[in-house]
Structure 1
Amino acid sequence: MNLQAKLTLWYVVLAVVIVGAISGVDLANNMQQQFESTLSRAETLKLVAAKFVSKTLNSQRTRTLPEALSDPVLQNDLLDLLGKPILEIAVVDPNTSEVLADSLPEHRGDKSGPFPDFGDLVNHASWYEKWKVLRGNDRQQYQLEEALGTRPNRTLLAVRVIILPALISRDISSTMTQNAQVAVLSVIGAIAITFLVSAVAFRPLGHLRHQLDLIARGEYEPEQPAADKPATDELSVIASKVSMLGQRLRGAQYEVSDLRGNIDRLLQDLEDAVFIFNRERRLVFASGSVEKFLGKQRADLPDQSVSDVFPPAATLGLLIAQAAQTGRPIRNRRVPLRSPGETASGLSMVLLSVDLLETLPGGANAGSGMLVRLRDPEAQRKLGRELQTADRLAAISRVSSGVAHEVKNPLNAILLHVEVAKSKLAHGDTEIQPQMEIISREILRLDRVVKTFLDFTRPVELKLANVPLQELMGEIVELARPQADAAGIRVNVEQQAEGAEVRVDRDLLKQAVLNVVVNAMQAMPEGGDLRFEAVADEDTAEIRISDTGGGIPPELRDKIFRLYFTTRPEGSGIGLAMTFRIVQLHDGTIDFTSDLGKGTTFMIRLPIAV
Structure 2
Amino acid sequence: MKLSLATRIFLGYAVVLATFGAVSLFSVAELHRNRLEIRLVSQGYLQLSQDAAALESFHTNQEKDTERLLEEGSVETRRALIRLARLYFPSLMTERLQAAKTRAGEVRTMAPTGEVHFVQDLESRLGELSNRYQSYGRAAEAVFTVLSNEKPTAEEVARATSELRQQESSIGRDIRFLRAALSNRIRERVDGAEDRERRTGLAIITLSVLAIGVGLGATAWSARTLRPVRTLIEGVSRIGRGDYSAQLGVRGDDEVAVLAREFDAMARSLQAREAQLKAQAEALMRAEQLAAVGRISAQVAHEVRNPLSSIGLNVELMQDAFERATFESPVDAREARELLAAVTREVDRLTEVTEQYLRMARPPQPSLEPTDVTEVLASVLDFSREELERAHVEVVRELAEAPPQALADEGQLRQVFLNLLRNAREAMPDGGRLTIATRVHERQVEVAIQDTGRGMSEAVRSRIFEPFFTTKEDGTGLGLAVCQQILKAHGGSLGCQSEPGQGTTFSVRLPRA
TM-score, length of structure 1 as denominator length: 0.28
Greater Rg, structure 1 or structure 2?
1
Higher helix share: 2
Q: Which has the higher contact order (CA 8 A, sep 6+)?
A: 2
Higher strand share: 1
